[in-house]
Chain A
Amino acid sequence: MNIQDNYQKNKKNIFFSKNKDVQNHREKLINIFKNDRFDKKNNESLKNVNLKNFLDFKYKYLVPEETSVINNNNDNTYSIVSVNGQCSNFKDDKIEITKIVEEDYNDFSKNNTIANNDHFVNLNSLFLNCGFKIIIKKNNNIKIKISNIITDDDLTIFQKNNFICEEGSSLNLIEEYENKNNSTLNILNVIKLEKNSQLNHFLIQDNSPNHNLIITSHSSCKKDSTYIQKVYNFSEGYVRNFHFSELIEINSEADLQGIFFLKDNNISNNKTFVKHLAEDCKSNQVYKGILNDRSTATYFSNTHVDQVAQKTEGYQLSKGILLSENASYFSKPELKIYADDVKCSHGSTIGPIDENAIFYLRSRGMSKIAATKILISSFINEELSSIDNDQMSEIIQKKIVRYLSKVK
């Protein structure tokens, strides 16, 4: 079934399909799908993707029987269980959680300047069937853990979440994606940081082989705000991490980091993109990958510095270890600079594990496998030692041990 028929058949179950503005936007999207010849060479959203699987899909969504759970632990810590992308409404003096509404959809579809050519974001907008909005109120310091649960096989979840950190607020957000069923979750997080706010965003991804996770985020940072995102991908299924940041006001920062651990025939596509649109802003984009067996990864990083964005500091780094001759990692850093007073750099290093280091460690009595594991651990040591949350650190360490136990 083509996209248009699929949409028409299911539109009564899709969010906001009666809204005129939404309808107009979706017609444009359908036309893009109808007219696009799917330029796999130049469109980064199509690399390593079996388009047929993603475009010719059987739409299925179930409104969860069990409602989501929101626990306020009274110490500014909230835990949320989102079921099939749904979350109950909640409100106290620090946070407010509501379902997304038409305005949220239109706000993103009109203002999104980065992800225009992204077919997966377009699919998300077209088939949107769930999502919620979380507002962190002014000057509050909050911790939230969200477990994203998918209940059944063969579900196609198209979810859009909005996170708004009001002025002076600080949010420590942990999102867990650990699903064992044969489903697809296409999720778009739209994040707004108001003046002098901070969001530390951790994403732990550990899905089973038949679960597809397509996650996109779009963050915008106002004056003196900071967005830090750390992705830990241990999934055995397909994962796409595309993350965009716009530094729209002076002295704002975006730090987009990721580590992925691949084996078997895993595929992981990654992209980070930071647009510097104001003076004195900083960005950092660092992805590291460990690839075994026949796994495949891509990483596109991009720093765009507008002509007004003087005194920009932008840094990009991509590093990969290939544990097998059959694994592959394609990395492409890009810089587009239109201002003249900037400090920017990019680098990429991908290769097999250092044989000289292995020889050195073995010559001291360490087995080859122990030497390999110690070198993998050291490769990501900097990122792991920077996790200042003990619980998170323990979770990540356990998953690394599990991955390493399968390295032969």
Chain B
Amino acid sequence: MFLEINDLSVKIENKNILKNLNLNINKGEVHAIMGPNGSGKSTLANVLAGKEDYEILNGKINFKDNDLFDLNIEERAQEGMFLAFQYPVEIPGVNITPFLHSAINSKKKRMNEDEIDNLSFAKLLKSKASDLGINIDMLKRSVNTGFSGGEKKRYEILQMSILNPDLAILDETDSGLDIDALKIVTDGVNKLKTKDNSFLIITHYQKLLDYIKPDFVHVMVNGSIVKSGGSEIAAEIEKDGFQKFQ
């Protein structure tokens, strides 16, 4: 099993958010989690990425044969986990290019691979940016600073394509995107899909799943997965909403 979440309960500030949640993802699978506001979807994404604000009450997570809780935030990233943020953080003064270069090399270092030199990285970045329709001038700017909502999401996908993760978690990547931007972002994701990597896509709406076809769809309500199945669940939610699952 690639990612195995068993009986996970999590709280923050005395509020239980995830309750005995179970989820298994195999290599090469695309899973979607849908759920109403406040159901715990983003908490799950943040807990997987290692955000330290949460208290783990019980449960276990295994990722690529590692106990995930033994790995800190950066070790999880270096092991191949990637979170595309719902609200990417603006960091004025930190230039995109050296930041991403440093990020990819930290991963290569952990994998005992040769670090990528400046020239090769510049070429890689330029080609990936071009694939995503990102203007080269944007790469001279500070991380997410002054970006529109669509630019931020595209830039998240650019980072994902550079870091080439084993497990990518997309936290409401479709929110705030117009139809053209959604198409560009989802095309970028689809290009990255291989039999060796997996995706966990968090969304409210079926629209995203029209472009990225999931193998499994899970409905999350009140901190637990209450139903799992195929794409037909997404269609059911689109038609009837989440009411019937609550």
Q: Which one of B87-95, B185-193, B197-205 is at the interface? A: B87-95
Q: Do the beta carbons of B73 and A375 come within 8 Å of each other? A: no
Q: Does B211 contact A (CB under 8 A)?
A: no
Interface residues on B, range: 20 to 34
Contact A365 B103 (CB under 8 A): yes
Interface size on A, residues (CB 8 A): 21
Stretch at the interface among A107-115, A146-154, A236-244, A353-361: A353-361
Whether A365 and B107, one on each chain, are in contact in the complex, defined by CB atoms closer than 8 angstroms, is yes
Q: Which positions 73-124 of chain B face chain A at CB distance < 8 Å?
A: 73-74, 76-78, 82-83, 85, 88-89, 91-94, 99-100, 102-104, 106-107, 110
* Cα A357 to Cα B104 with chains together (Å): 18
In this complex, what residue of B is CB-closest to A377? B93
Contact B99 A374 (CB under 8 A): yes
Also in contact, A362 and B74, with CB within 8 A (given A367-B106, A370-B102, A374-B99):
yes
B91 touches A378 (CB 8 A): yes
- CB contacts (< 8 Å) of A365 on chain B: these are 74, 77-78, 103-104, 106-107, 110, 163
Q: Residues of A contacting B74 with CB < 8 Å?
A: 362-363, 365-368
CB-CB under 8 A for A356 and B73, given A363-B49, A378-B142: no
Contact indicator A360/B77 (Cβ below 8 Å): no
Q: A356: nearest residue on chain B (CB-CB)?
A: B89
| Contact between A375 and B94, CB atoms less than 8 A apart | yes
Interface centre among B82, B93, B102, B142 (most CB of A within 10 A): B93
B91 contacts A363, C-beta separation under 8 Å: no
* A379-B51 CB under 8 A given contacts A365-B78, A374-B99: no
On chain B, the residues within 8 Å of A378 by CB distance are: 91-94, 142
Chain B: which residue is nearest A374 at the CB level? B94
Residues of B within 8 A of A374 (CB): 94, 99
Q: How far is the CB of B115 from chain A (nearest CB, A)?
A: 12
Binding site for B on A (CB under 8 A): 354, 356-357, 359-368, 370, 374-375, 377-379, 381-382
Not counting A360-B88, A378-B91, A378-B93, a sample of 10 additional A-B residue pairs whose C-beta atoms are within 8 angstroms of each other reads A360-B85, A360-B89, A361-B91, A362-B72, A363-B73, A364-B103, A365-B74, A365-B163, A368-B74, A377-B93
Q: Sorted from nearest, which 9 A-B pairs have the closest CB atoms?
A: A378-B93, A381-B93, A362-B73, A365-B77, A364-B103, A365-B106, A360-B89, A378-B94, A362-B74
